[in-house]
Structure formats: C-alpha cells, structure tokens
Amino acid sequence: MKPGRNYPFAAIVGQDRMKLGLILNVINPTLSGVLIRGEKGTAKSTAVRSLAEILPRIEVVKDCLFQLAPGENIQLCRECTNAECREQVLHGSPEIIRREIRVIELPVGATEDRVVGTLDLEQALKKGEKRFEPGILAAAHRGILYVDEVNLLDDHVVDVLLDSAAMGVCTVEREGVSFSHPARFTLVGTMNPEEGELRPQLLDRFGLCVNIASLQQVQDRVAIMARRAAFEADPQKFCRDWEGESQRLVENIVQAMARYPQVTIDRKLLWEIASYCLDVGVDGHRGDIIILKTAKTLAAYQERTAVNKNDIDLAAELALPHRIRRQPLQEISLDISEVRHQRKLGSR
Amino acid sequence: MDDDNAKTGVISRKVYPFAAIVGQEEMKLALILNAIDPRVGGVLIRGEKGTAKSTGVRGLAALLPEIKVVAGCRFRCDPEAPEDYCRDCRGQPPQNGGVTSRVKFVDLPLNATEDMVLGGIDFEAAVKQGTRQFQPGLLAKANRGILYIDEVNLLDDHLVDIILDTAASGVNVVEREGISFQHPARLILVGTMNPEEGDLRPQLLDRFGLCIEVHGSADLEARVELMQRREDFDTQPEDFSAAYRAENEKIAHQIAQAKKNLPNVRFPKHLRPLISELCLSHKVAGHRADIIIERAALALAAYRGKAEAGMEEIKEVAAMALLHRRRETMPPPPPPPPPEPPLPEPLRDDSPEDDHREEPDRQENQLPEETMPPLPQDREAAANGRDNEVAEHIFEVGTTFKVKRFSQDKDRKLRRGSGRRSRTRTALKQGRYVKSIEHRHGDDLALDATVRAAAPYQHRRRRPDSSLAVHIHPEDVRHKVREKRIGNFLLFIVDASGSMGARGRMAASKGAIMSLLLDAYQKRDRVAMVSFRKREAWVNLPPTSSIEMAGKLLEEMPVGGRTPLSAGLFKGYEILRNYLLKDPASEPIVIVITDGKANIACGESNPVTEALSFARQMTQEERIKFIVVDTEEAGIVSFGLAAELAAALGANYFKIEDLKANELVDVVRRNIS
C-alpha cells in the first residue's frame, strides 16, 4: 500500500450510509456500483479516492493492458498489441502479480475515443497496421470506475458508458478498428443534485444510491476539522495512526467476501422484497435483484449467514431511492419506508 | 472467421439461459419467430429498465442451432443457396459441403462509425500490398446472424437508417473511398430501447417487423422466482446453466425443426382479407404490416408443428406487428365544451383528484404580496383599481403529456454547449465523429481517413531509407467532422390574464407548459419565463438551467386581470436580445402560450393591432424560432386571434391538444379481438 497519499477511508467522520454503500460494493461487485448524491464538501470524492486503500487484492497478468485474470480470455490475448506479454501468455506461463483493485477516474471532459479506446497512431504510421489502443474502460476492468460530477458528463459519453456497463463488454467499432474486450467494472458516481439530475437509464445502472448531507453535530464537525488538520500537517503519520483501523476494515471485507456464498435467505423474505418493490412502485426487476444482493452482502458483512428483515429494510433504503417511479420533476425521495407507508395508504 | 466465433464464444460463456427467463412470453416468442424466419423483419423491444430485454436477446443467440457456411467465406455464405452467394463464392464456387458454425451474434455499439458498419477500404492491404480491397463491416459480419443494437434510440438516426435499409433489402451496397462492392446481408435485426430516453422516428419504427413492449411483472411469485434465479446464476453460473441446458436444447431443437418445415407450411388464402381488415381497422399506414403478419403467422404455425397457419396464429402475431404501426386516428371534431373538459387521468395516482379545481381559499396563502414584483407605474389608478378587483386564482397544474419533438434546424455553424435538442456541428473535440473532410478546420485529425486516403499511393512513395510504413503527404490530411446535440434556450411567454382562467383552461395550459418544461429537462435546455397579466409583463425566471425552479414558479403563478399581450412580447424580446448578445451563435426558441385576446396596449393603438405589429418586428431577428400555443377553447365563438399572432410571428401554431406527441405506440391488444 501507499501510505500518505490519500486520506484514510476509516478516518472519515460520519457519512455511514455512503461508507456502507461503498464497502458493500467492494464485497460484492455484482451490485454494480453506487451513486453518491450530496452537496459540496461532504467527503464524497475523498471517500471514493481513499477506497483504493481498503480494496482487496486480485491476480492479474503482469502488464496486461486489459487487466485480465490469468486464463480469462485467451482469444483477446492473441490479438493483443503488447507483443511481449502476448508471447508469454500463448507460450507457457505469463507472469502473474497480485495487486489491489484499482480505482480509475473518468474525468468529466473525457472524449469518446479516450473512453472506449481508439486506433493506435504509432502502429498505424510506423508499421501500417491497425492496432487498438485501449481506453479508460479497459483500464477499469475488474476495478472501480469513478466518475466525479457524473451528472455533468457529456451525453454521448454517457451513451457509450451505458453500452458497456450493461453487458460488461466494451465493443469498439470506430476509426477502422473493430475490437471487443471485457469491461466489468463497479461504477461509482458522485454528483451534486443542484446541478441537474441524471438520465433515467444511467441512474438505473447504479446498484445503490445514497444521499448525504453535511453533519449537524458540533462535535462531529470539530472532529472533521481536527482530523483534516492532522492529516495535512503530517500525512504519513496520520495514515500510520489509522493503519490499524484500515487493516481491520480490510479484514472484515475479505471475510465477508468469503462468507457471501454461504449466506442464505428465507423464501418468506423474498416475498417481502417483492412486495416492497411493488408497494413503492419501481420499474422493472433490477430493484428486486439488487435488494436481494444487498441484503445478502449486508448479512455477510455483519458476520451472519442468514438474511433477516432488518437487512432487507436497510437494503431497500440503499437500492430504491433512485428507482421509485416519480412524478415529473419530483425530487428523489430520501426516506423509502416513508414512501412505502404513504403509497400503501394511498392505495387503500 | 473462426477467430470471431471463438470471440463470441468466450463472451457468451456467461449468458443467462434463454429458457430460464421468467415470464416475458411475448418477447421470447417474437425472438423465436425471427430465428425461424429472418424475413419476419426483426424485432424492436421497448420497455422500462430492468425487464430482461438484453438478457433475452443474448440468450437467444446462445441457443440458436448451428448453420452450414462455405469454408473460408468472409460473408458466411450458405453452400446450399448459390443464388445468395457473395462475389467471392460466385467466382469460385465452393467444392465441398461447407463447415458448420454457430450463428453469429454481432453487437453494434453506439460508438460505431459509418465506415465500420458498412465496410470500407482495407488500409493494411492498401499500404502493404498496394491493392484496393474491401474490408467487410459489421453488416457483413452479421450476414445470416443477429445484429443487435442495444439502446437503438440513442444511435445516430442516420446510422439506423442505413442499417434498416440493408436489413430490409438483404444486400449491402458500398460505394465509398474508391471501393464499389456489394454483398449479401441477411440478418435478424434486434433493437432494444427504453422509451424514457426518447423515441425512434415513426419511419424507423415501421422498419422493424415486430415490436413488443415489456413490463415488469406485478406478480409476487414471479418476482420472487426471478430474484432467486438471477442470484443463483450470479453465484453459480455453470451449475445454473447446466440445469437449464435440456430446456434450452429443446427450444433450439424446435426452432431447427420449424425452420426445416417452414417451406411446407401453407397459408390459407381465405385468411388474407382478414389480415387486411385487421390492418385497416387499426389505421395502419402502408402494407408492410400485412406482409409481416402473414410471415410471422407462418413461422408460428411452423413452430407449433402445424401444416397451415390459422386464425389463432394470426391473432397472436398481429398485436406484435401492429403495436408500432398504428396511427392515431384523426381527432374527432370537439364536442360542445363541457363546463370542465375531461382530462386524461393521471398516469399513476388513481385518486380522482380534480385537477383544475379553483382553490380560492388557497390563493391568499400561496401568494404573499412580496412575490409580486412591484408595479413601478401607477399612472392609471382607475385601471389598476379595476384590475385589483379582479379575483386572482392559482390553478393547479393539469395533466402532463409527452410533447412533440421540435428543434432548430441543423446548419453548418459551430457551437459549444451540451444538451439533447438540436444537432449542431462542433469545433471542440467533442461529439460524435460523423465523417471526415479534406479542408482544414482545427487540429482534429481523422487519422483513419487520412491513412485511407494515403493508402493507394504507398507503393510509389515508399523509400528504403525511411522507417515509416506510411507516407502521408499534406494533401492526404483529413479532419474529423463532429456533431453533437446541444440544448436550446427556450423562452416561455405565458399569458396569465383572467381570460385564461375561464373554464379550467389554465390548468390545461399549465399542464402543457409543464410538459414542455419536462421535455426541456430531458433535452438539457436553458429556460426563461415571462408572464403577463393586468397591465404588465414580468420576468418570472431569468435564463437558467434549473427547470425545477421553473416548475415550482409555474405552480405558484397566479392568474387574473387583463391581457397586455404586447407588453409580454416586448419583455420577452428584451431577454432575447440580451441573450443573443451574450451568445450570438445560439438559436432561441420562443414559446408563446396565449389565447391572443389582447386588451391592453402599451401605447394608444388597438391592443390586438399593436401586438401583431410587435410580433412582425420581432421576426426580423432570424435566429429566433417561434411557437404559439393557442389556449382558446374550441367552441362556437372562437376568435382565432392566437392563430393570427402565429402568422405574424411566422410561428408554428399548435392547439394544446396538438402538442402531444403522436402516440404511435399504444396498447392495441385490447382492441384486437
């Protein structure tokens, strides 16, 4: 790990929902991401950037342009531009390294060709060959793709992002290159709702959604100031001080990942999930599926192997805010159980 | 070619089994019918998010039976159908019976450029061998396979056009970059879309053979089952797929059988008039629907192992073929106005709420005096006094609806900005790369086009002392032309006078404005709002991107008093003038919502004449586009003043009812009996 570069995740004061949403996504990448909505200066970006420090390690072929796991996609390796790596994979054993999952940042001003990849200029001019130069989506495979101010992203970039996020494959058909490579990533976005909302289809791609606000307790605010000042004065020392806390978090995450496959859920509780979604009114079935996954992940994180009712309630609070059918221009609701209560009353 | 198969193989390894999809029977059937007979013309799947649209399509591809292809043919010709051979196979007829291969599933990504879809010059061959060779595009790859476009409504219209054209004719003709080539392109076209993100043009809709709508299930049991299956699949994909293998294979076998039997299935002649009648009664334009119903009915009969198609099959497929082709009937002449015109019920809330009820008791609380801009001039106390006596009302916002598409025309000007309304060329290196041009503008080099342009001359230019493979001369340089959609500036000029309050018209008008705002929201426009009532016009909302704010203001807007139309126009013009000074390339759209019954003038002349002459002056600014929404109720006495105003402004004229987007896709199932 690289101490001293980022503010430690464990040292963030409050904002438990946000931290929980991020941790759940680390434990179970099939939750497909989290959208963090909140005003300026509420540690949104800090949390995501510091996530890198608590991420578990994965096995990757060394220097692989596409972050492939050993033996993941031999066909892709055959067409790979990295000749050295290609030879190693195809003849005998490639070098495997273990490294932390990466957080790749997609800047708001990114152009389409940088996102999906493009024609390799050097190869084209020097050798007269068409080669694919991978873009940000290739780098984000098996990692976390972080979009700050996701609501300000250019529309056509959103389109290509949707395209890849849907199936976990990035297909490129442009500028004379025809290529496709795996791109399964956890999408993490932060946004300030004051600057406009997200498009519905993109909204749906985020598994969870958390709303955060600045803390209202004086002692919390004081704690934030104190910690921040300590961090800025001596980042190395600050991170060392929090090392133990971070380490414990990483261990919890690793254990939860191991426990997840054993988590069971009672069929009665599945009914509860389904009726929850029907009560509040969501489009499609992704809401159900995400609640189920979130509830199981929660149970695993809390060292249990059976899902209980509380898990589902909390999971619904995380998975449904952005999925509830809204009246035009209505704001995203914050309290899901309240919505459920009201809609139930309304239907009577 | 085998490489590509392997590629699809690798990616499709973790495909959710088709047989394991819960419900969505109609979607499954539509896909199967297309698999049996590609001439059914493809299918468009519309539906809200998370309804297994993509899952269904990919699942189908994974279970399709293998086909025979000519060994080594780039277009995967069928060895048993010499009439469909590509140019290569014609020149050199294949010797053996061909090899078996999986059906190709080709993904068309939204980032695709035209040359990659159609095919173009192969620059590797051109540079290395100095020959002009055709490099097949996606349409060639998809020959005899499935071409899948996810989010088809977000794809460039122009690309969708080309693809649908080819799919309909079964041949792809390429004439570009010195290449002239044609090859067979018989493919099953499958598109999925979420209508929330905008719709396809009706012409394009019509090109899809079948169209179905999918919804989430409201059945608890189905939802539970679905959740469980999905979770099982995600945790143990191999075991899960194995459990459904037998069922999947059964479907595959049925499809293969049906394909074989299809030529033997008869279509009874006496059923044809019935199809025509069905199409006629649903006001279907053109004859494509008739043909498609027949083909689909045949395929369905074959699927069910029948020897001939019957009524049952026709009924079943008719809904899918008619859903997207039904034209709205001409609106019936409006009945004499009831005291409160019935509005369509709100979509969700079923509470029988009276949308346009006047709420006199609320007005006092809703309208604190300070929200009203002060009246700067109190010249005519008498008139003011009379105005003040006029009751002010705040009407609720009526039902909203989806509005027609309106935008500024595309031109060659370069703009900056973002949004989704109008197309524009852009000089920033953003936007979709649509094509390349020779002359220079900026430094946005189109490398692919440049290399292609240089390719034919490489043999002559090659020098032994150079390490470069490609020699580019200045005349080869091509630049990218990029295009993107930008939002427009929409100025609403709203009539808030007493006449608008009559008989709930204001509720309907507010509903219309809210719909327009909603549309503006989806298209990322900037908006401003001016309202006029009593003696004056106010800027309720200066230009902003916050549509939420506009919505809130609209809800609170009071109505009452006289109609100073010309003041409203003038105030609007002031805003526009300032806006155009700041952003000269912008092309604002002005939406005037009024019944046109002006009765207060700024000067001495007749209020109506003054407003009209104002309007004519405003049209001198060519960058502005006008839309007039007439709120006058159709009745025995109608003045048609708003129409006159529209004529003076050179505006598009709409009644509130006309604003509604042509609801092409409607639930017809009920009506088909």
Contact flag A329-B514 (C-beta cutoff 8 Å): yes
**Contact between chains at B420 and A155 (C-beta distance less than 8 A):** yes
CATH topology for A262-343? Helicase, Ruva Protein; domain 3 (1.10.8)
Strands (E) located in A125-176:
132-134, 144-147, 169-174
Q: What average pLDDT does the segment A23-36 reach? A: 89
Spatial contact of B7 and B107, defined as CB atoms under 8 Å apart: no
Choose between A73 and B536: higher pLDDT: B536
Active site residue A323: no
B108 reaches A (C-beta below 8 A): yes
CA distance B86 to chain A (A): 22
Query: Which of B2, B49, B434 is the best mutation test for A, with the most CBs of A within 10 A?
Result: B49
Percent of chain B exceeding pLDDT 70 equals: 70
Give the H or E element holding residue B195.
none
Specify the CATH superfamily of domain B261-327. Magnesium chelatase subunit I, C-Terminal domain (1.10.8.80)
Residue in B6, B196, B458 nearest the CB of A200: B196
| CA distance to B341, B625, B633, B634, B644, per residue, from B336 (Å) | 10, 34, 10, 8, 23
Per-residue pLDDT band at B48 (split at 50, 70, 90): confident
Residues of chain A found within 8 Å of residue B217, distances taken between Cβ atoms: 285
Band of residue B382 on the pLDDT scale cut at 50, 70, 90: very low
CA of A15 to nearest chain B CA: how many angstroms apart?
27
Q: Give the residue from B567, B562, B653 showing the smallest Cα distance to B610.
A: B567
Q: Residues 170..189 of B with a Cβ closer than 8 Å to A: which?
A: none
Residue of chain B whose Cα is closest to the Cα of A75: B7
pLDDT computed for residue B426 by the predictor:
55
B589-594 and B625-630: which strand pairing?
Answer: parallel
Residues of A in contact with B10 (CB under 8 A): 73-76
Residues of chain A by 3-state class (helix, strand, coil), percent to 5 = 50, 15, 30
Which residue among A130, A267, A329 sits closest to B548, beta carbon to beta carbon?
Answer: A329
The CATH homologous superfamily of the domain defined by B360-367+388-408+488-659: von Willebrand factor, type A domain (3.40.50.410)
Q: Nearest by CB to B110, which of A73, A160, A178?
A: A160
Other beta carbons within 10 Å of B536 = 19
| Per-residue confidence (pLDDT) for residue A182, from 0 to 100 | 85
The partner residue sitting opposite B50, judged by closest CB among A30, A175, A286, is: A286
Single-letter residue type at A171: T
How far does B120 lie from chain A, in Å, by closest CA?
9
What type of residue is B501?
G
**Domain A9-56+101-212: CATH class, spelled out:** alpha beta
Q: For residue A261, what is the nearest residue in chain B, using CA coordinates?
A: B235
Complex ipTM above 0.90? no
Considering only CB atoms, A292 lies closest to which of B6, B52, B227, namely: B227
Is the CB of A288 less than 8 angstroms away from the CB of B430?
Answer: no
Active site residues of B: 288
Chain A contact present for B458, CB below 8 A: yes
* B292 close to B318: Cβ distance less than 8 angstroms: no
The interface residues of chain B toward chain A in range 284-323, judged by CB-CB distance below 8 A, are none
Residue B594, beta-bridge partner list? B630
Does residue B489 surpass a pLDDT of 90?
no
> pLDDT (tens digit, 9 = 90+) per residue, B130-167?
677 788 888 888 888 889 988 888 777 778 878 888 88
HEC profile of B204-241: HHHHCCEEEEECCCCCHHHHHHHHHHHHHHHHCHHHHH
Architecture of domain B1-66+102-215: 3-Layer(aba) Sandwich (3.40)
Q: Smallest CA–CA separation between A260 and chain B, in Å?
A: 9
Mean predicted lDDT score pLDDT of chain A: 82
CA–CA dist B486, B273 (Å, integer): 48
Is the Cβ of B420 closer than 8 Å to some Cβ of chain A? yes
Residue A235 pLDDT: 87
Chain B, residues 564-603, CB within 8 A of chain A, namely none
Q: Which of A191-195, B232-236, B352-356 has the least mean pLDDT?
A: B352-356
Please give the pLDDT value at position B341. Answer: 38
- Cα B329 to Cα B285, B324, B335, B442, distances in angstroms: 11, 14, 16, 50
The amino acid that residue B120 corresponds to is G
- Active-site pick, A174, A286, A304, A326: A286
Q: Which residues in chain B are contacts of A204 at CB distance < 8 A? A: 49-50
Lowest mean pLDDT among A278-292, B263-277, B339-353: B339-353
Q: Which residue has the tokens 């004065």?
A: A233
Is the Cβ–Cβ distance between B119 and B125 less than 8 Å? no
Give yes or no for residue B372 having a pLDDT over 70. no
- Mean predicted confidence (pLDDT) in B13-21: 82
Minimal Cβ distance to B50: which of A130, A285, A325: A285
* Residues B223, A277: C-beta atoms closer than 8 Å: yes
Please give the backbone phi and psi of residue A174, each rounded to the nearest 5 degrees, phi first. Answer: -155, 155
**Higher-confidence position of B389 and B625:** B625
- Could you tell me the residue ranges of all domains in chain A? 9-56+101-212, 262-343
Q: Say yes or no: B400 contacts chain A, CB-CB below 8 A.
A: yes
The tokens of A157 are what? 């970039």
Q: Which residues of B touch A281 (CB under 8 A)?
A: 348
Element (H, E) at B173: strand B171-176
- Of A10-24, B141-155, B277-291, B468-482, which has the strongest mean pLDDT? A10-24
Q: Do A176 and B524 touch (CB under 8 A)?
A: no
Enter the tokens of residue A300. Answer: 């695993």
B400 band by pLDDT with thresholds 50, 70 and 90: low
Check if B224 contacts A (Cβ < 8 Å). Answer: yes
**pLDDT over 90 at B169, yes or no:** no
Query: How many angstroms separate the CA of residue B316 from the nearest CA in chain A?
Result: 24
Stretch A129-143: mean pLDDT: 84
Distance from CA of B620 to the nearest CA of A (A): 34
| Residue of chain A whose alpha carbon sits nearest to that of B400 | A328
> Other CB atoms closer than 10 Å to residue A203's CB: what's the count?
20
CB contact under 8 A, B216 and A282: yes
Residue range B420-463, pLDDT digits in tens? 555 555 555 555 666 666 765 556 677 777 777 777 677 777 76
Write down the mean pLDDT value for chain B.
73
Tell me the range of A165-169, A208-212, B582-586 where mean pLDDT is highest.
Answer: A208-212
Q: State the nearest Cα–Cα gap between A210 and chain B, in angstroms.
A: 20
Confidence at residue B461, expressed as pLDDT on a 0 to 100 scale: 75
Beta-carbon separation of A182 and B154 below 8 A: no
Q: Read off the amino acid at residue B335.
A: P
